[in-house]
């Protein structure tokens, strides 16, 4: 009875077409934003509960880890990894055609997320992060927010386009809730996931992110992440070191991503099942935490310490190296979570070290070390995520300090271009797919027909007797002959079907010349400077195997022919080349399994 009532309600909602119109999407964005905020709160409280039940302590992950004895630091991550791996194994057993990743569902999918898989993967992430895994909580928080949005859209029978937008709104709400950064949250989804800043999509993202932020404020879960006060004004000359910091961040961020990829490959080479692999990663992480418990978790407390207290240079180097190792072990073993926050940590430590070295070389500079810490966070994040605009706004919203914006802008943009120039790597798979598509379109657009041109063997002049054309049709298995005048100026084609009709209707046509039976506009002509993309469009509307290529003169001359098979072979070669490039661009998210149908 209840099932029939719910189904009737769904069908009734689906009948109200205006509910999925663009203005109505703003209302849905509010609902998704509210649910996204509560999903974030639930994940945060769940993590606190797990820590309290298992260790008897709660608070920051670093604080909990420090409170454990050495064997606790060793066993807690290993046990957490084992449970997380078992949950991922259970999630992989779901037989569903829906996506398991929100980015994939929005960027290249239909917006449908598997609820069962999503919940199990989020629980897996909770276990990994709560037990000290060097991951960001934002990954699971964003996925839960997106999952709630997908469930709403599927319940109301949203179309694919609107469902994808609704899931994107959920992702924006999740980022806004996790970081207290609504503008950056909306921009992250627009820049990375959707790949567009069109207001039709960006508007609902803003509404969802703002709604989530309001809920976080009302429930007491909002605070400025890294509040800064009394930041000095910089003289113009002191902006230049931040440019250098941007260059260095652009050089090092790809190395960080490649290291994560290396660890993923090495863990897979062990041949262990996923639960054992995550348990091994947790055990190795535990060895690191015995020595350096500060690298546990997302590292918020350590970044806060880097900003507000004085560190020695060798302590910064140690924390940087151990954090990179901890992240590589956690991500490499296959744990589900965000690499976003570890990238902020690495950037903060790198920026701090840069500021300390610069302070030694330039004792009288105005900029404080913590300013380089903040800019290092933004520039490293912008280079690692390929989203410099998001990184700029993220650091600004985390600090609410306008004075840092100018050096931050310069460093983030420069780091992005440097990283893209030296290495084709990516943190998120959707950027690989989008770059691959853009590269394919560009190469299709700029590959001309000149290299595909072949001689035209089936050509007759206008004054030739029709019997010459008849003999050519006997000698060549073609449907058309190309007709030119004495100066090789293209006139049109003779169709085999036309000659057949003339023979049947008139009998003797041998007295006619080729120019009397040609068709001038029956077959479209190609130009030598046309792109492969344009040629494809011509062949789609043409049933034959070849098209004539003519010059751009006032009286176009016949230059040759291009075959459809040549166009397809060239397209295939370009696509394989682009795909091979894409394979080298690494995805550093959780291990993906093919969707079962």
Per-residue three-class SS string for 240-274: HHHHHHHHHHHHHHHHHHHHHHHHHHHHHHCCCCH
Calculate ∠ Cα 300-302-306, nearest 5°: 115
d(CA 419, CA 410): 14
Q: Which of 210, 199, 220, 217 has the alpha carbon at shortest distance from 33?
A: 210
Q: Which of 37, 382, 348, 25 has the alpha carbon at shortest distance from 192?
A: 382
According to the model, what pLDDT value does residue 354 have?
95
Number of Cα atoms under 13 Å in the Cβ half of residue 227: 3
Longest dimension (CA), the chain: 106
Reported confidence tier of residue 472, pLDDT bands at 50, 70, 90: confident
Give the least confident one: 269-278, 317-326, 463-472.
463-472
Same CATH topology for 236-427 and 449-574: the answer is: no
Homologous superfamily, domain 2-218:
Clc chloride channel (1.10.3080.10)
According to the model, what pLDDT value does residue 259 have?
93
Instruction: For residue 531, give both structure tokens.
Output: 């792109």
d(CA 5, CA 496): 66
Reported confidence tier of residue 211, pLDDT bands at 50, 70, 90: very high
pTM assigned to the model: 0.75
> Hey, where are the domains in the chain?
2-218, 236-427, 449-574
Q: Which residue has the higher pLDDT, 535 or 2?
A: 535
Reported confidence tier of residue 236, pLDDT bands at 50, 70, 90: confident
Read off the pLDDT of each residue in 469-488 and give the average, rounded to a whole number. 86
pLDDT tens string 132-181: 888 887 888 888 898 888 888 888 878 778 888 888 999 999 999 988 88
* Termini Cα distance of the chain: 30
Instruction: For residue 82, give both structure tokens.
Output: 């084992």
Read off the pLDDT of each residue in 374-397 and give the average, rounded to a whole number. 92
β pairing state of 459-461 and 480-484? parallel
Query: Is 449-574 a CATH 3.10.580.10 domain?
Result: yes
Reported confidence tier of residue 429, pLDDT bands at 50, 70, 90: low
Reported confidence tier of residue 435, pLDDT bands at 50, 70, 90: low
β pairing state of 546-550 and 526-527? parallel
According to the model, what pLDDT value does residue 276 have?
94
Judged against a pLDDT cut of 50, whether residue 596 lies above it is answered with: no
SS (H, E, C) 27-67: HHHHHHHHHHHHHHHHHHHHHHHHHHHHHCCCCCHHHHHHH
According to the model, what pLDDT value does residue 254 have?
92
According to the model, what pLDDT value does residue 587 have?
40
d(CA 515, CA 67): 96
Homologous superfamily, domain 236-427:
Clc chloride channel (1.10.3080.10)
Residue 131 near residue 80, CB atoms below 8 Å: yes
Reported confidence tier of residue 391, pLDDT bands at 50, 70, 90: very high
Reported confidence tier of residue 535, pLDDT bands at 50, 70, 90: confident
Calculate ∠ Cα 302-258-376, nearest 5°: 35
Helix (H, G, I), strand (E, B) or coil at 555: coil
At residue 400, φ and ψ (nearest 5 deg) are 55, 35
Read off the pLDDT of each residue in 322-346 and give the average, rounded to a whole number. 91
CA dihedral for 6, 34, 135, 396, sign (positive or negative): positive
Read off the pLDDT of each residue in 515-522 and give the average, rounded to a whole number. 80
Residue 551 near residue 528, CB atoms below 8 Å: yes
Give the least confident one: 15-19, 28-32, 211-215, 592-596.
592-596
Read off the pLDDT of each residue in 57-85 and give the average, rounded to a whole number. 87
pLDDT tens string 352-369: 999 999 988 888 777 788
Residue 132 near residue 65, CB atoms below 8 Å: yes
């Amino acid at each position: 009875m209840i099932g029939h009532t719910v189904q009737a309600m769904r069908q009734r909602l689906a009948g109200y077409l205006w509910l999925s119109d663009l203005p109505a999407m703003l209302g849905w964005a509010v609902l998704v934003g509210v649910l996204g905020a509560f999903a974030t709160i639930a994940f945060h409280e769940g993590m606190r509960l797990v820590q309290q039940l298992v260790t008897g302590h709660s608070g920051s992950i670093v604080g909990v880890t420090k409170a454990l004895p050495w064997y606790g630091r060793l066993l807690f991550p290993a046990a957490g990894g084992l449970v997380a791996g078992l949950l991922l194994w259970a999630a992989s057993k779901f037989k569903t055609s829906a996506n398991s990743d929100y980015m994939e569902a929005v960027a290249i999918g239909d917006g449908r997320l598997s609820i069962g898989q999503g919940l199990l993967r989020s629980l897996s992430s909770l276990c990994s992060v709560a037990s000290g895994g060097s991951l960001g909580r934002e990954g699971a928080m964003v996925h839960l927010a997106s999952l709630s949005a997908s469930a709403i859209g599927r319940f109301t029978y949203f179309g694919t386009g609107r469902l994808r937008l609704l899931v994107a709104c959920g992702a924006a709400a999740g980022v806004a809730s996790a970081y207290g950064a609504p503008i950056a949250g909306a921009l992250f989804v627009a820049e990375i996931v959707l790949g567009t800043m069109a207001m039709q999509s960006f508007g609902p993202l803003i509404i969802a992110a703002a709604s989530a932020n309001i809920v976080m404020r009302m429930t007491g879960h909002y605070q400025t992440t890294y509040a800064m006060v009394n930041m000095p004004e910089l003289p113009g000359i002191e902006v230049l070191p931040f440019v250098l910091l941007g260059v260095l961040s652009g050089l090092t961020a790809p190395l960080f991503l490649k290291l994560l990829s290396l660890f993923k490959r090495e863990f897979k080479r062990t041949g262990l099942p996923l639960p054992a692999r995550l348990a091994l990663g947790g055990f190795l992480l535990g060895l690191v935490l015995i020595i350096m418990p500060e690298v546990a978790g997302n590292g918020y407390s350590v970044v806060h310490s880097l900003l507000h207290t004085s560190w020695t240079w060798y302590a910064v180097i140690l924390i940087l190296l151990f954090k990179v190792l901890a992240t590589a072990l956690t991500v490499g073993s296959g744990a589900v979570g965000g690499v976003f926050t570890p990238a902020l940590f690495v950037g903060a430590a790198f920026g701090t070290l840069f500021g300390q070295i610069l302070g030694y070389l330039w004792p009288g500079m105005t900029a404080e070390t913590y300013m380089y810490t903040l800019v290092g966070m933004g520039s490293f994040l912008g280079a690692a995520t390929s989203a410099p605009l998001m990184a700029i706004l993220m650091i600004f919203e985390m600090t609410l300090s306008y004075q840092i914006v100018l050096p931050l802008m310069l460093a983030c943009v420069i780091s992005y271009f440097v990283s893209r120039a030296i290495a084709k790597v990516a943190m998120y798979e959707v950027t690989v797919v989008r770059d691959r598509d853009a590269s394919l379109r560009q190469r299709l657009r700029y590959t001309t027909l000149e290299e595909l041109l072949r001689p035209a063997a089936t050509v007759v002049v206008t004054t030739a007797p029709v019997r010459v054309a008849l003999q050519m049709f006997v000698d060549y298995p073609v449907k058309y002959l190309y007709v030119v005048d004495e100066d090789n100026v293209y006139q049109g084609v003779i169709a085999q079907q036309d000659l057949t009709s003339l023979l049947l209707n008139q009998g003797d046509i041998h007295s006619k010349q080729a120019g009397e039976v040609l068709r001038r506009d029956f077959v479209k002509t190609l130009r030598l400077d046309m792109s492969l993309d344009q040629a494809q469009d011509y062949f789609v509307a043409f049933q034959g195997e070849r098209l004539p290529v003519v010059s751009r003169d006032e009286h176009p001359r016949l230059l040759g022919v291009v075959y459809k098979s040549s166009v397809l072979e060239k397209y295939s070669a370009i696509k394989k080349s682009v795909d091979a490039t894409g394979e080298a661009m690494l995805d550093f998210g959780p291990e993906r399994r093919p969707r079962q149908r």
